[in-house]
Amino acid sequence: MPISLSELAERTGATVAGDGAVLVSHVAALEFAGPGAITFLANRKYRSQLVGTRAAAVIVAPEMAGQTALPKLVSATPYVVYAKVAAILHPAEPTVPGVHPSAVVDPGARIAGSASVGPNAVVGAGAVVGERARIGAGSFVGAGASIGDDVILHANVTIYERCVVGPRSILHSGVVIGADGFGMAEENGRWVKIPQLGRVVLGADVEIGANTTVDRGAIDDTVIEDDVKLDNQIQVGHNCRIGAHTAIAGCAGIAGSTRIGRNCKIGARANINGHIEICDNVNIAATANVHSSICVPGTYASAVFLALPHEQWRRRQFIVHRLPELAQRVRRLERSADAAPEDASDEAKGEP
């Protein structure tokens, strides 16, 4: 249903510039937007597309408002406003209450009347599924697990026994919460499995991407605090704790017993060593390797080279491999200079 620009401004906190009566029905990219669409500009490198867009309205920052005559929503945070507008114009499908005939629900489970349990889903003994929660097709909720209100488990999500998913959290397909952590003790060349007795506890408003895994604690719980966002294919080891509002990009690996603070941002394929602490407000660049604790907020990176033509990369790698040899030569030269007579320079000049 089309909504006026003025109503969107009121609901998102933006300011209207131009005709607030303009109606929009959907969002679209600058390049492809047409009649009835609202688009946005959050990255300046796309500003050339703003002039030619055929959208009905745009969302822009104040400094870009003069670049188009179209009706607009103006905000210092246009991307945030876009997110809110997209949610208004494209709301999620409402939960349709009920348990599918093919689902297997233990008699001891408690399913809220407004919740939905999809085809071939399994809900174990003593599990609790909250109001308006959605358990997708083929998903598994283990015995004693707790699924909060308004949670969405997409198809084929696995929640092991006793784990907790906080309200309004979203778990995408293939997510596994609560598998055993990698705990082994070695005896006479063989491995002895260490029972993993803790849980995984997810806070409110957590979102976890497809095929990400969060291991249960060995003794204490693995904890993901409120509003944490985990991308696809991340591994979180046992007994980790990730602070509220932290976001971690795809394929990152976090070894066991690591504590990550609040409001951190960790790039794709970063590797975080186990048994270390990362304080609040830390940014870690993509592909970085973190081997020790970080106690000072800021941005950290460890990648050696950005992408280079292959021959340039080979030349730089050759230099890197020679660094130990070069360091030894520098030390020898420094020792030679320290051992030289103080008046050697004068003698070289032929001065008395």
Tell me, what CATH number does 256's domain have?
2.160.10.10
81 and 180 both lie in a single domain = no
Q: Tens digit of pLDDT for each residue in 219-276?
A: 999 999 999 999 999 999 999 999 999 999 999 999 999 999 999 999 999 999 999 9
Q: Tens digit of pLDDT for each residue in 162-173?
A: 999 999 999 999
Do 238 and 222 meet the contact criterion of CB atoms below 8 Å apart?
Answer: yes
The CA distance from 238 to 99, in Å, is 33
Instruction: Decide if pLDDT at 316 tops 50.
Output: yes
Which residue, among 261, 223, 263, has the nearest Cα to 240 in the 3D structure? 223
What number is the average pLDDT over the span 128-143? Answer: 98
Instruction: Decide if pLDDT at 352 tops 50.
Output: no
294 DSSP 8-state letter: B
- Active site includes 90? no
Active-site residue among 238, 275, 291, 310? Answer: 238
129 and 16 both lie in a single domain = no
What number is the average pLDDT over the span 180-189? Answer: 96
327's CB contacts (< 8 A; 6+ apart) are none
47's CB contacts (< 8 A; 6+ apart) are 41, 64, 67
Q: What are phi and psi of 230, to 5 degrees?
A: -115, 130
Long-range contacts of 47-56 (CB under 8 A, 24+ apart): 55/28, 55/30, 56/22, 56/23, 56/24
| Arithmetic mean of pLDDT over the chain | 94
Q: Tens digit of pLDDT for each residue in 298-310?
A: 999 987 677 789 8
Which domain covers residue 27, as residue numbers? 3-89
What number is the average pLDDT over the span 317-342? Answer: 88
Say if 224 falls within a structural domain: yes
63 and 105 both lie in a single domain = no
Model pTM? Answer: 0.88
107 and 205 both lie in a single domain = yes
47 and 174 both lie in a single domain = no
Say if 305 falls within a structural domain: no
Treating both helix axes as pointing N-terminal to C-terminal, what angle do 78-89 and 5-12 enclose, rounded to 10 degrees?
A: 120
Rg (CA), the chain: 28
Instruction: Decide if pLDDT at 343 tops 60.
Output: no
Confidence at residue 1, expressed as pLDDT on a 0 to 100 scale: 85
- The 10 Å CB-count burial string (b at 16+, else e) for 288-302 is bebeeebeeeeeeee
79 and 107 both lie in a single domain = no
133 and 245 both lie in a single domain = yes
Number of domains in the chain: 3
What number is the average pLDDT over the span 125-144? Answer: 98
Q: What percent of the chain has pLDDT over 90?
A: 86
